[in-house]
Chain A
Amino acid sequence: MTFVAKPRVHHPKLPVNEIGLTRRDYEGSVSTLCAGCGHDSVSAAIVQACAELSLPPHRFAKVSGIGCSSKTPSYFLNKSHGFNSVHGRMPSVMTGSNLANRDLIGVGVSGDGDSASIGFGQFAHIVRRSINMLYLVDNNGTYGLTKGQFSATNDKGSTSKKGVPNLYEPIDLVSSALQIGASFVARSFSGDKKQLVPLIKAALMHKGMAFIDVISPCVAFNNHSGSTKSYEFVRDHIHNVMDADLIMTHDEVTADYAEGTREDVSMPDGSTLQLYKVDADYDPYDRVGALNYVQRMQEKGEVVTGLLYVNPDAVECHDIMDTVSRPLNELTEADLCPGSDTLAALNQRYR
């Protein structure tokens, strides 16, 4: 926990984005998490992604549940809407928020306890409903706030800080999200912002449910030699298959990739999703293939990262339900009470 507040002064040459803000304008209050917590890096990645996309901070709805992960929305996007809900209930609140105001950019931050234990049902259903949002899990495999018990994502055989092994099979949220029907599924590592920031940017602009599982080591309780979610283990076992980046229409394309390894996908808002195949044989449009691949690699103890699955033509909940195209708070009395003639016409249909 940090006691010295981060000074407001910033680098004299800090760049200003399209809407006149610097990266520092996307920060939140000072983090009270343990020093070195992976979650703080994830928050920093969200800050950077939002700044690079020049998104207006006041158009975000950030929602979370309970846990270390769920404290983090306080530490980014100070000037946005936010709701810190009860344990495991982020999806319910986010669903409501999204249905009421579809124009807000939804960011849900959850943890392995919040999503894979108490909120597992909620997680499954929000994915299934394809709510248009970024669902990000800070996954550290442990209950840090209650002093380091194994969480449901902790790998079997991985040990606690005192050396006791975990006896249960883990829940893999990536596999679950793929199976239940998320249209954008990625995994990344808090210690690799080069990969994480572009993934967050792509996920924010994706239409539909975008799920990112971020392995985010708990320095206090799960960063020892027996852990499979420590900085060192993840770095040694990481297997990146597909980098992705979101190129806004005004961005300059600078990345230089070998012939045939880059693929551009047009996004509904005019931006371009660029995919860079790190593993040439990997197909990011094949949901079943992705599921198999992730599972097989998990058997080998490898941590597959990158953009694992994307459906650029996905539909979101509002499309499925054919709802009104404007946020509810913009509907006028005339929209809501169209008059007795309309009522008569409606009644006529049931006669």
Chain B
Amino acid sequence: MEPTNIFDPNYFHKVVDCQWACPAHTPVPEYIRLIAQERYTEAYMLNWDSNVFPGVLGRTCDRPCEPACRRVRTEETPVAICRLKRVAADNKGDVTAFMPQVPTEKNGKRIALIGAGPASLAVARDLLPLGYEVHLFEQDKKGGGFMRSQIPAFRLPERVLDEEVDRILDMGVHCHFGQEITSMKAMMDMNFDAYFVGTGAPRGRDLELKGREEVDKHIHIGIDWLSSVAFGHITEIKGKVIVMGGGNTAMDCCRTSLRLGAESVSVVVRSAFEVMKASEWEKDDAMREGIPIINNRPPKEFVHKDGKLQGVLFECVTPVKGEDGRLRYEPSGEPDVFIEADHVLMAIGQDNHCPWIERDLGIEFDKWDCPTLDEVTLQTTNPKVFFGGDSAFGPENIIWASAHAHRAAISIHLFCEDQDLIADRPPEGVNLISTKMGVHEWAYDAEHNAASRHIVPLNEEKTALTNIRVEVELGFDQVLAEKEAQRCLNCDVQTVFTEILCIECDACVDICPMDCISFVANEDEEPLRMQLMAPADNKEQDIYVSDVLKTTRVMVKDEDVCLHCGLCAERCPTNAWDMQRSIVHVPQLGSYAE
């Protein structure tokens, strides 16, 4: 194999599994260290810089970082990254002084942002410090988009959302709230320099089943129903409730129903438990509150009598694993199941829906009603118009909205400056800084902490289940947070190897607790991976190959289960190994760090 180019910004970035998995590439280990040092404000700002809504995300993020956490591979449970983020938000001091300065003298460019959800808000935040005049259009009376309308208050208190939304609005956004947007053409006539569409995926799917029309008033589209609850139009739900669907919206619907007084709530899912779209913890939360999740039951018919819903008839199927590893469902032979219901909430997915964008504006749409976009620049076929968030590629989540926003903001800026949207994009970069402070002193807590994941304390069920405004999770207190923070392996402190210093004494090989390091004859990647102290069979993780050493061998390090404990560097007599903190530079406008 060719020697690894560690100066490729992606090489060490990939080693920081959590940061790599995060769409916005939040520097997770760095902010976790700050939390361990009780520097909550700094931890918050680091988060705010890259993901814009730390308080919201610390409660509601989809957490792509956690399944990626190296600790899953070394001992099963990831660091509670998301809950630590909340600790930073809960305990931070006044951050006003750290906010980017917005120039009073504008640069003369006017930008329209349509939809006041996380994507548009984040674009606003990125553009305002550069002097743009930003106009935000929203049909609701308040900003926040689906963070406000669809995430129930028992998961995300309104004050947390208000704080983070207002922080951006207060930077000088021109808000045009409470007016429905019915025509993109009308928007275009206002002659803004660029447009950003962040209107989400607002159309909840419906199900055409026998009896559907007859009992229309008992059947509610999940996201619309949640939105009515959020804005106070619905305050109770009586009788028996069936929630159909297996995603996070279904979990929010069933838990909300429980709090609004439903007599009984059950979630019925067409597919198997393991393949449900809902996050593990959201399923756990629902089940902990006593809500049954019934799987492998596709609905067949809405049963009604005298125009009143009686319940739903479900078919029984069995999942069978096909040769491609995917589940297929076959009739199980059991008789159909009837479940009584007074209300049915449909949470079976949502779609993009842009009827208000006229199709003669040069903005092309594909057959799924998604705009044709450049994946990097997020520019549509009309060069003035950009998309981001759920409206871009279909339903995702808040953290993806932030990630899109950063990319779109760069594009909008380049577009307004008449620069090339691809060629002139700021490059990615990486800095490596040694953490060596003395003979055996490192600027990070190198010692491996063997503790298991700490459990987040919850509010008493009695209070939590009766009031929709009471947040279920209490969050880590500072003591628990520090303990949990210590579990972080500091994967951003990299093992950097310098060939010319190595005397091939094997000290690093002997001390490495995870058998990551080997000195072997060089080969092609496949055979090389099998020659090591421990076979490197996780192909998703790179192997770090040095240049040829004096004995004609090469050093090969399997990044897979490295604990970043620094023992190789501690044991190295010649400093051929060093522990260096990698700082990945993800391109972003108006970053407070710049």
Chain A interfacial positions (CB closer than 8 Å to B): 1-14, 24, 34-38, 40-41, 43-44, 190-191, 193, 217, 219, 223, 231-232, 235
Q: Are B504 and A4 closer than 8 Å at their CB atoms?
A: no
In-complex Cβ contact of A12 among B74, B510, B572 (8 A) = B74
In-complex Cβ contact of A9 among B505, B506, B513, B574 (8 A) = B513
In-complex Cβ contact of B513 among A6, A34, A190, A231 (8 A) = A6
Q: Are B511 and A36 closer than 8 Å at their CB atoms?
A: no
Q: Are A9 and B503 closer than 8 Å at their CB atoms?
A: no
Q: Are A13 and B563 closer than 8 Å at their CB atoms?
A: no
Q: Are B73 and A191 closer than 8 Å at their CB atoms?
A: no
Give the docked Cα–Cα distance between A211 and B573 (Å): 29
11 contacts across the A-B interface (CB closer than 8 A) = A3-B570, A4-B566, A6-B511, A6-B567, A9-B514, A10-B514, A13-B534, A24-B513, A35-B570, A37-B573, A217-B505
Give the docked Cα–Cα distance between A190 and B506 (Å): 9
A225 to chain B, nearest CB (A): 12
In-complex Cβ contact of A191 among B446, B506, B572 (8 A) = B506
A36 cross-chain contacts in B, Cβ below 8 A: 503, 505, 507, 571-574
A158 to chain B, nearest CB (A): 18
Q: Are A40 and B510 closer than 8 Å at their CB atoms?
A: yes
B570 cross-chain contacts in A, Cβ below 8 A: 2-4, 35
B502 to chain A, nearest CB (A): 10
A40 cross-chain contacts in B, Cβ below 8 A: 507, 510-511, 571
A43 cross-chain contacts in B, Cβ below 8 A: 510
Taking CB as reference atom, which chain A residue is nearest B503?
A231
B479 within 8 A of A: no
B189 within 8 A of A: no
Give the docked Cα–Cα distance between A82 and B584 (Å): 50
Q: Are A2 and B511 closer than 8 Å at their CB atoms?
A: yes
Interface of chain B residues 553 through 589 with chain A (CB within 8 A): 561, 563, 565-567, 570-574
Chain B interfacial positions (CB closer than 8 Å to A): 73-75, 440, 446-448, 450, 503-507, 509-511, 513-515, 534-535, 537, 550-551, 561, 563, 565-567, 570-574
Q: Are B507 and A9 closer than 8 Å at their CB atoms?
A: no
Give the docked Cα–Cα distance between A11 and B70 (Å): 12
B534 cross-chain contacts in A, Cβ below 8 A: 11, 13-14
Interface core residue of B448, B504, B513, B567 (most chain A CB under 10 Å): B513
Q: Are A9 and B74 closer than 8 Å at their CB atoms?
A: yes
Give the docked Cα–Cα distance between A38 and B503 (Å): 11
Q: Are A9 and B448 closer than 8 Å at their CB atoms?
A: yes
Q: Are A11 and B561 closer than 8 Å at their CB atoms?
A: yes
Give the docked Cα–Cα distance between A11 and B537 (Å): 12
Q: Are A41 and B507 closer than 8 Å at their CB atoms?
A: yes
6 smallest CB-CB distances across A and B, nearest first, come from: A36-B573, A7-B448, A44-B510, A36-B505, A219-B573, A3-B440
In-complex Cβ contact of B446 among A4, A9, A11, A41 (8 A) = A4
Q: Are A41 and B505 closer than 8 Å at their CB atoms?
A: yes
Q: Are A37 and B507 closer than 8 Å at their CB atoms?
A: yes
Give the docked Cα–Cα distance between A4 and B574 (Å): 18
B534 to chain A, nearest CB (A): 5
Give the docked Cα–Cα distance between A158 and B331 (Å): 84
Q: Are A232 and B503 closer than 8 Å at their CB atoms?
A: yes
Q: Are A4 and B506 closer than 8 Å at their CB atoms?
A: no
Contact A191-B505, Cβ < 8 Å, known A7-B448, A219-B573, A235-B550? yes
